[in-house]
């Protein structure tokens, strides 16, 4: 083990190492919280000045991160947030949690990762550990990041350390907060792996070291591709069984009684969140380098992308049966977050559903107790809506109510009593009713 690695490992173990987290969103901010709770001093970095100002005032913009906790750490001077990246010189460990979206052609957009790496390279010093957590294709850490970091003359494994540890954050999951989720870690060299493992050993119950950064990068893709393909399967089965008059939810319940060889997945209005709709296509893109066509992954993507259109068609059919057309109808979409009981709208299928409905001439409102305003979306720049109040009088004025997100806060029996027509994409209404259509 090199002298630099031993010195860094000692600082990590006695918690005198300061941790820097770049990207203070749904992945970065929970990670900040985990390191603070473990006793580390943390500096958060972000280019969004509004986020910085809110955090320094002790205000949280993520529902499951408590403002009370932030104020406690601020008062003890353990935490600070900044957009001044010169302060990277003052931290020993730098963790990158920036977006890795797709471009308009479904190709990986690594601009956030590479721009961040260039900034880190500008202030890189001996004895620092750099860890990428953003999901990406195999080879990013060593093929794309490493040359930028070594361009200044410092050598990986000797002067600084580089690793990849995929984020596994599940927003709103109280059973598995950051510290209880096992952490896969891969390093460029043996000392890189050892220092990164030592860092995460301080904040998670279990670390899972692997042989390389490429294995670690691939493990995250496998996790999300596994989910995307299986969700596509049940979404396709939902559409098939619907034509056959079979309740797919009853089928899933029956199959779930098998104690081996089956894992239940549930259909919905489409995929949401920053991972599952996007990550599989990082492997699809990388696979072209080895002349391989990822047909199953791409087919799953097609099926999941189709689901918002399926929901809208079911809404059209249901309205037609009442003698109404979609154009001119008043539609209320319940839930704009991508899953229940969170405030995260990233890649939410509700956004696509609203967009399709509006283009068809429907007058669309939404209600979401956790998202009071929806605007500023990259794919929907014209979308600027505010959550409307949910009252019996207002509900009766809508021609149809689409349950797109099954928040626990909703009283579904009350909805059934007061809505003229319900299109349920989440099996939120358990009993059958003549005016409730499953989609």
User: What separation in angstroms does the CA of 371 have from each of 32, 159, 294, 390, 406?
Assistant: 23, 46, 36, 13, 14
User: Which residues have C-beta within 8 Å of that of residue 169, sequence separation ≥ 6?
Assistant: 26, 27, 30, 31, 178, 181
3-state SS, residue 36: helix
- The single residue of 42, 149, 275, 318 carrying the catalytic annotation is 275
Sort 389 into a burial class: Cβ within 10 Å, 0-12 / 13-18 / 19+: exposed
275 catalytic? Reply is yes
What is d(CA 433, CA 153) in angstroms, rounded to the nearest whole number? 70
What backbone torsions phi and psi does residue 92 show, to the nearest 5 degrees? -95, -30
Structure tokens at 23: 């990207």
**In the block, residue with structure tokens 């029996």:** 413
What is d(CA 331, CA 314) in angstroms, rounded to the nearest whole number? 13
Q: Which of 274, 362, 275 minimizes the C-alpha distance to 311? A: 362
Q: Which of 81, 85, 111 minimizes the C-alpha distance to 98? A: 111
Active site residues: 275
């Amino acid at each position: 083990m090199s002298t630099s690695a031993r010195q860094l490992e000692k600082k990590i173990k006695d918690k005198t190492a300061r941790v820097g987290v770049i990207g203070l969103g749904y992945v970065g901010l929970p990670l900040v919280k985990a390191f603070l709770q473990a006793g580390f001093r943390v500096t958060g970095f972000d280019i969004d000045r509004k986020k910085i100002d809110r955090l320094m005032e002790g205000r949280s913009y993520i529902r499951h991160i408590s403002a009370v906790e932030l104020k406690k750490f601020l008062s003890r001077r353990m935490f600070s947030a900044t957009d001044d990246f010169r302060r990277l010189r003052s931290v020993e460990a730098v963790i990158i949690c920036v977006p890795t979206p797709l471009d308009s052609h479904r190709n990986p957009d690594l601009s956030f990762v590479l721009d961040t790496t260039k900034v880190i390279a500008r202030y890189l010093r001996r004895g620092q550990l750099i860890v990428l957590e953003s999901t990406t294709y195999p080879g990013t850490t060593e093929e794309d990041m490493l040359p930028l970091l070594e361009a200044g003359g410092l050598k990986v494994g000797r002067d600084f350390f580089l690793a990849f540890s995929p984020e596994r954050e599940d927003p709103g999951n109280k059973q598995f907060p950051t510290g209880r989720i096992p952490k896969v870690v891969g390093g460029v060299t043996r000392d890189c792996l050892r220092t990164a493992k030592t860092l995460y050993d301080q904040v998670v119950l279990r670390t899972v070291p692997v042989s390389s950064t490429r294995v670690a990068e691939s493990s995250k893709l496998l996790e999300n591709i596994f989910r995307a393909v299986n969700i596509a399967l049940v979404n396709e089965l939902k559409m098939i069984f619907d034509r056959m008059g079979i309740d797919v939810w009853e089928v899933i319940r029956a199959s779930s009684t098998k104690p081996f060889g089956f894992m239940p997945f549930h259909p919905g209005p489409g995929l949401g969140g920053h991972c599952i709709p996007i990550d599989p296509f990082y492997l699809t893109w990388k696979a072209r380098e080895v002349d391989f066509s990822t047909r199953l992954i791409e087919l799953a993507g097609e099926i999941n992308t189709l689901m918002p259109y399926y929901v809208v068609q079911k809404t059209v059919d249901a309205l037609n049966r009442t003698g109404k057309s979609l154009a001119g109808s008043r539609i209320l979409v319940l839930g704009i977050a991508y899953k229940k009981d969170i405030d995260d709208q990233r890649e939410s299928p509700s956004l696509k559903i609203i967009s399709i409905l509006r283009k068809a001439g429907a007058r669309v409102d939404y209600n979401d107790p956790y998202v009071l305003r929806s605007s500023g979306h990259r794919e929907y720049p014209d979308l600027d809506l505010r959550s409307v109040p949910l009252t019996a009088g207002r509900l009766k004025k809508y021609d149809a109510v689409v349950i797109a997100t099954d928040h626990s806060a909703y009283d579904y029996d009350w909805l059934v009593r007061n809505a003229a027509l319900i299109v349920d994409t989440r099996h939120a209404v358990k009993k059958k009713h003549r005016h409730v259509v499953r989609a």
